[in-house]
């Protein structure tokens, strides 16, 4: 247990900073989608904490769905292969969709998920991500809203894991190799 916790590096984004940014994003979404059928599609597992906080800052009616995507991470590096292990089974053509993601790294996961959703013909599609590491981008993909831009360093906490640990940290920290 100690060795696991000793890998938690310096705090990059505090719980308070996250909370302020999530409140602001929730207010913006509530204003922009007022009167429109809104569906949040979150990518498991990493985005579950962000989604649960964000949806409670949204003051207009909204629905929630999940997609499971794995990018075959081993340790801190991605294989580049993306597998969507569970898809959306319902009709979303009557909804404005926002994809809620934890972090955009190479961009591969999100472009695969966005392509699947686009083919399902939602009324509109936007991407909201908690974190963005633009230096690492391998495919051409931009979020419509990114709460924090971070440098190229592996991070943990607030849903983000290293080998399934640290998702429960209430803030974002650097991982100490």
Residue of 53, 102, 105, 132 marked active site:
105
Q: Is 105 labeled as catalytic in the residue annotation?
A: yes
Burial class (CB in 10 A: 0-12, 13-18, 19+), 40: buried
Tokens, residue 1: 């247990």
**Least distance from ligand IMP to the Cβ atom of residue 149, Å:** 13
Nearer to ligand IMP, 58 or 99 (CB): 99
Site string for ligand IMP, 91-120 (x = CB under 6 A): ----------xxxxxxxxxx----------
DSSP codes, 106-175: SSHHHHHHHHHHHHT--SEEEEEEEEE-GGG--S----SEEEEE--SS-EEBTTB-BTTBSTT-SSEEEE
157 contributes a contact to Mg ion by CB under 5 A: no
Contacts to ligand IMP from residues 143-162, by CB under 6 A: 154-155, 160
The interface mask with Mg ion, positions 36-55, x = CB under 5 A, is ----------x---------
Q: Does 107 bind Mg ion (CB under 5 A)?
A: no
Nearer to ligand IMP, 53 or 101 (CB): 101
Residues 142, 85: Cα–Cα separation, whole Å:
23
Listed residue (84, 87, 42) closest to 62, CA to CA: 42
Residues carrying an active site annotation: 105
Q: Which residues contribute to the site for Mg ion (CB under 5 A)?
A: 46, 102
């Amino acid at each position: 247990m100690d060795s696991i916790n000793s890998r938690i590096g310096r705090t990059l984004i505090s719980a308070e900073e996250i909370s302020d940014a999530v409140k602001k994003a929730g207010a913006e979404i509530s204003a922009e989608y007022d009167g429109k059928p809104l569906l949040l599609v979150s990518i498991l597992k990493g985005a579950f904490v962000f989604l649960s906080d964000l949806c409670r800052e949204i003051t207009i009616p909204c629905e929630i769905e999940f997609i499971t995507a794995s990018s075959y991470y081993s340790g801190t590096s991605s294989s580049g292969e993306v597998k969507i292990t569970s898809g959306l089974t319902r009709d979303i053509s009557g909804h404005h969709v926002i994809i809620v993601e934890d972090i955009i790294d190479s961009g591969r996961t999100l472009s695969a998920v966005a392509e699947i959703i686009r083919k399902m013909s939602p009324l509109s599609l936007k991407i909201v991500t908690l974190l963005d590491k633009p230096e690492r981008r391998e495919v051409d993909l931009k979020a419509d809203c990114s709460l924090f831009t971070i440098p190229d360093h592996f991070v943990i906490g607030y849903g983000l894991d290293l080998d399934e640990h640290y998702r429960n940290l209430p803030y974002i920290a650097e991982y100490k190799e």
